[in-house]
């Protein structure tokens, strides 16, 4: 499964980057590809490109705030969760997303 994700917390510091790391670690463990854009206090990093979106099976938004640039995901299935879910249960989250994709196909 190819995933593009955005992580963003209210302060835009620690939880944003912890969520990113946990999602990457879980995706690698489960054999998925993931690119995580962070939208934090220093701006956006690891920005998701148009090609990334085109190639992705699903979009994951792990955010406790409104994110910037959501319109670029138009037409893609989107899963929204809080940052805490991405931090505490990343493998379970990705498993649920995988199941959702199977049902959609």
Q: Which two tokens stand for residue 22?
A: 């946990």
Q: pLDDT tens, 47-75? A: 999 999 999 999 999 999 999 999 999 99
The per-residue pLDDT for 3 is: 97
Burial profile 72-92: b = 16 or more Cβ within 10 angstroms, e = fewer: ebeeeeebebebebbbeebee
The per-residue pLDDT for 105 is: 67
Calculated CA dihedral for residues 50, 94, 20, 48, nearest 10 degrees: 0
CATH at residue 22: 3.40.50.2300
The per-residue pLDDT for 58 is: 96
The per-residue pLDDT for 104 is: 78
Catalytic residues, which ones? Answer: 9
How many domains are contained in the chain? 1
User: Among 12, 7, 10, which Cα is nearest to 22's?
Assistant: 7
Q: Structural domain of residue 42, as residue ranges?
A: 2-104
Q: pLDDT tens, 76-105? A: 999 999 999 999 999 999 999 998 888 876
- Entry pTM: 0.94
Q: pLDDT tens, 2-33? A: 999 999 998 878 999 999 999 999 999 999 99
Cα–Cα distance for residue pair 13/28, rounded to 1 Å = 23
Cα–Cα distance for residue pair 30/75, rounded to 1 Å = 25
């Amino acid at each position: 499964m190819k995933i593009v994700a955005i992580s963003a917390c209210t302060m835009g510091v620690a939880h944003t980057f912890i969520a990113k790391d946990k999602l990457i670690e879980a995706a690698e463990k489960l054999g998925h590809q993931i690119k995580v854009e962070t939208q934090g206090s220093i701006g956006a990093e690891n920005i998701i490109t148009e090609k990334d979106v085109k190639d992705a099976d699903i979009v994951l938004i792990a955010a406790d705030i409104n994110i910037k640039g959501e319109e670029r995901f138009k037409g893609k299935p989107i899963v929204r969760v809080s940052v805490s879910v991405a931090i505490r249960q990343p493998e379970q989250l990705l498993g649920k997303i995988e199941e959702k994709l199977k049902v959609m196909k």
